[in-house]
Structure 1
Amino acid sequence: MRIGKALLRIGQVAELSGLSSRTIDYYTQHGLLEYERSSSNYRLYPESVLQTLERIKLLKKQRMSIAEIKEAIQTDNTIEPIIVEVQDEITCLQQKLTTLEEQMKDAPREEKKLIYQKLESKLTDVMKLLTLM
């Protein structure tokens, strides 16, 4: 057992992370979380597991499989939070474009043309970004 490092039991990890003990157990069984055994055979998790769980939550939002999440965690990719942020922005833009299309349904043709011209360069930039992903 490490001296000077706070170790948490599964119930504490569950409470602090907002996840169920069952979910934490599942992630542990799949090798996503590190732990050590106490003298009475309890699993004890380092505090850093809370950061790992936050990362898993983000990756699950991206609909990644457990295998993909495990690989991402092992490679310690620091770009993932940025990707999640970009994906959230794209979703937001999609919703706004849908709303705009609905509002423009009955607009005169010339008004539609002006709006599309205003958006064209920005949409081109977004498409360039998507091709990088």
Structure 2
Amino acid sequence: MYRIGELANLANVTKRTIDHYTNIGLLKPERSASNYRYYTEEALKQVRLIEEYKKQDLSLKDIKLLLQDGTSSSSQEDHLLSETDEVLKQIKELNMNLEHVLPLIEKLNDQDKKLLRSRLSSKSVSLMHSLLMLLS
């Protein structure tokens, strides 16, 4: 059993996040005789799963529906594995595209490179940097 601060630390989120998840019904703590909230190991797994779903850009409303639809923890993990496989497939496709585009970019003059850079969002640049790091 974990108190809110312990759960937050183990799940790498804030106490405020745990409070929010509890208030909207994503987590259900147990109460002690002195009315302290205690969370089980299952709650820790739940928070980690919620955070994984959030990384997939799912809203908390959608996450709540996923968690309430009666799917077991193992089927949720299967879903995450399936999503991970899909992301890996997309990374492989992006890698092939990148291998095609990089030589073309290298041929550009400095002014054209600046123009190209200005058209990319910071998120896109970060993503491309991450992909290059993964591929090297």
**TM-score > 0.5, shorter chain as reference:** yes
Give the residue type in structure 2 aligned to 1:66. Answer: L
Of 34, 39, 60, 1:45 maps to 39
* Aligned-CA RMSD value: 2.0
The aligned runs of 1:19-58 (5 Å cut-off) are 19-58=13-52
TM-score of the two chains, using structure 1 as the length reference: 0.66
The residue aligned with 1:76 is 71
Q: CA deviation at 1:76?
A: 2.3
Moved over 3 A (4+): 103-106
Using the TM superposition, name which of 53-62 and 70-79 deviates more.
70-79
Structure 1 CA distance for aligned equivalents of residues 102 and 30 of structure 2: 58
The residue aligned with 1:131 is none
Structure 1 CA distance for aligned equivalents of residues 56 and 65 of structure 2: 14
Using the TM superposition, name which of 90-99 and 35-44 deviates more.
90-99
The residue aligned with 2:133 is none
Structure 2 unaligned segments of length 5 or more: list them.
Answer: 106-136
Structure 2 CA distance for aligned equivalents of residues 55 and 21 of structure 1: 17
Structure 2 CA distance for aligned equivalents of residues 98 and 28 of structure 1: 43
Q: CA deviation at 1:101?
A: 2.1
Structure 2 CA distance for aligned equivalents of residues 30 and 91 of structure 1: 33
Structure 1 CA distance for aligned equivalents of residues 56 and 33 of structure 2: 38
Give the residue type in structure 2 aligned to 1:76. Answer: T
TM-score of the two chains, using structure 2 as the length reference: 0.65
The aligned runs of 1:1-133 (5 Å cut-off) are 7-74=1-68, 75-76=70-71, 78=75, 79-103=78-102, 105=104
Structure 2 CA distance for aligned equivalents of residues 43 and 91 of structure 1: 42
1:43-67 per-residue CA deviation (whole Å, 9 max, x = no partner) reads 1111111111111111111111111
Q: CA deviation at 1:103?
A: 4.3
